[in-house]
A and B are shown apart, each in its own frame.
Chain A
Amino acid sequence: MSEPPGATLAPEAPSAADEPSKPLAAQRVLPLRRPGRWMATAAVLVLVAQFAHGLVTNPFYQWDRWGYWFLRPSILDGLVITLEVTAYSAVLGLIGGILLALARLSKSPVLRAVSWTYVWALRSIPLIVVLLFLYNFSALYRTLSVGVPFGPAFFSFDESKLATDMVIAVVGLSLNEAAYAAEVVRGGILSVDQGQHEAAAALGLPKGYQFRRIVFPQALRSIIPNYVNQLIGLVKSTSLVFYVSLLDLFGTAQSMGSTYPGDIVPLLLVVTVWYLILTSVVSVIQFYVERYYARGATRSLPPTPWQRLRAGLTDLRARVRREAAV
């Protein structure tokens, strides 16, 4: 063997001409230079600057028209419809998803099969087809009635009165959403440790309590990120309700666009910015909800962005002071 590895790093190495006073062990290690990373960063910055410049200076975007449309009452009415459809479908879809997930996890083979088939069918059929089916539903079933199955009816409804455009949109989106939510919820429930079920059973906790207070809150930790993902998809899927003649945000912009053909691009930009805002709001809510359900799962809660910023500033100040002292 050649010389031991320690020899090349000997503390007395006569190298430190710049800092001769300090022993090697007291000196900071020089960080590795990464020129490739710097070049890639510069190239990306140039591209981003080009894009931003184009966005601002290209007259084709017509930002003045964007400003005109952004808070127009007709657009805001559309926004309210979008929010309503999203909210109802998100809640109904989640409830449906929980029921489907429980059916899928039940010991009854019939419930399992029905749940599986529902999820299979609704995930296979495009949402737009579901919506158009419902739109033409009154032609298939003229009245709906509540009564003994295959027997006499107690109440009946005229389907065309019951099925407003809003109801069709919410039902269609909820049916679709439930199929996806079912898988999200099922995955969450399966992610809870078997020991938790056993401990709850061994304590004799009532069945409903076991699910509501022990299993489901723990499942939520994995359900929330997946369901929010789903929810953001839903916010955008609501733009399809335009096809069942409900004027949501996108629908309003679309119809305004046919009235003012010159404003199509600024109208699309208005829609884009609103969807960006909606998604951002959902993401912020997601952060805090996730943080709430992380209680106990991690030893300490993750900091909020605000706390992280403050900690970062404190760190920076300490570092500057340290550097100044050296």
Chain B
Amino acid sequence: MSITDTLETAPAALEIHDVHKWYGAHRVLDGVDLTIRPGEVTVILGPSGSGKSTLLRVINHLEKPEIGYVSVNDELIGVKRQGERLKELSERAILAQRGRIGFVFQNFNLFPHLTVLDNVAAAPVATGKLTKPEAQALAKELLERVGLGERVGAYPRQLSGGQQQRVAIARALALRPGVILFDEPTSALDPELVGEVLSVIKDLATSGTTLVIVTHEIGFAREIADRVVFIDEGRIVEQGPPSEVLDKPRHERTRDFLSKVL
């Protein structure tokens, strides 16, 4: 409760409003409401197939919700208001909005034909935010920050999974996004490489960036999350600080899930 109290007055960094999503007849998201304050670190937990990755992809409009909307810093994502209706934005406008939302994939999805430096520097140049030398200087600085200052000239496949994921985080940071979304950032990694990625994310969490993280690392969630959201069957079952949701879950389904993963 305390976090919600102190942040009550600040405007929402991210607002998800009654989002519904179907794949054919299958209902993936069933009325999700969530408000996230600036600088808040939110961890989304849930069994596989519960809709947590879809929710993350709805936030930056990689998936379109059928009903409901998402707004980031009070700006509607993927749609605009026209009278009492919501109208789809042009592709160009949606792409511009995505620049304000970082996304880190489970499988890194680095561009294999570009060097590590170019992977990070590409987006600010392509979107016209920085000149090439500025972007490269920024990319070096960010790679330094994730501990890869030495590997700027390498190609992604020459790096370990943990190093690739750290490059992917630097790539997301290069656009200076207001919110960063992580879709199971450590699930594709060998166990001994998980730590290096989590420590980079932890640095971001303490630096005041708004983060939304889908993960199965319960210990990590307990350590960094301001709020834990438990999702099952496309609905938020319960949410609150880790000390409540992880240690004293109120719902049977949460308890059931935690007993399996802990």
Binding site for B on A (CB under 8 A): 193, 195-196, 198-207, 209, 213-214, 217-218, 293, 295-299
Q: Tell me whether A203 and B99 are in contact (CB under 8 A).
A: yes
Interface residue SS majority, chain A: helix
Question: Of A199, A205, A299, which one neighbours B95 at CB under 8 angstroms?
Answer: A205
**Chain B window 60-93, contacts with chain A (Cβ cutoff 8 Å), 1 for yes, 0 for no:** 1010000000000000000000000000000110
Note all chain B residues with C-beta closer than 8 A to A196. 109, 111
The size bracket of the interface on B is: 20 to 34
Q: Tell me whether A207 and B110 are in contact (CB under 8 A).
A: no
Q: Tell me whether A198 and B158 are in contact (CB under 8 A).
A: no
Question: Of A199, A218, A293, which one neighbours B105 at CB under 8 angstroms?
Answer: A199
Question: Of A193, A199, A205, A295, which one neighbours B155 at CB under 8 angstroms?
Answer: A295
Nearest residue (CB) in A for B111 is A214
Note all chain B residues with C-beta closer than 8 A to A204. 95-99, 123, 127, 175
With A203-B175, A209-B126, A298-B157 given, is the CB distance from A217 to B109 under 8 Å? no
Note all chain A residues with C-beta closer than 8 A to B99. 203-204
**B156 interface hit (Cβ, 8 Å):** yes
137-159 of chain B: CB within 8 A of chain A = 155-158
With A202-B98, A207-B91, A218-B112 given, is the CB distance from A296 to B157 under 8 Å? yes
**B171 interface hit (Cβ, 8 Å):** yes
**Chain B window 207-228, contacts with chain A (Cβ cutoff 8 Å), 1 for yes, 0 for no:** 0000000000000000000000
Note all chain A residues with C-beta closer than 8 A to B126. 203, 205-206, 209, 213
Complex CA–CA separation, A213 to B123 (angstroms): 11
Given contacts A201-B62, A299-B158, 4 further A-B contacts (CB under 8 A): A203-B123, A203-B126, A203-B175, A204-B175
Nearest residue (CB) in A for B129 is A204
96-132 of chain B: CB within 8 A of chain A = 96-99, 103, 105, 107, 109-115, 122-123, 126-127
Question: Of A202, A207, A209, A214, which one neighbours B103 at CB under 8 angstroms?
Answer: A202
Shortest CB-to-CB span from A302 to chain B, Å, is: 14
Complex CA–CA separation, A206 to B99 (angstroms): 10
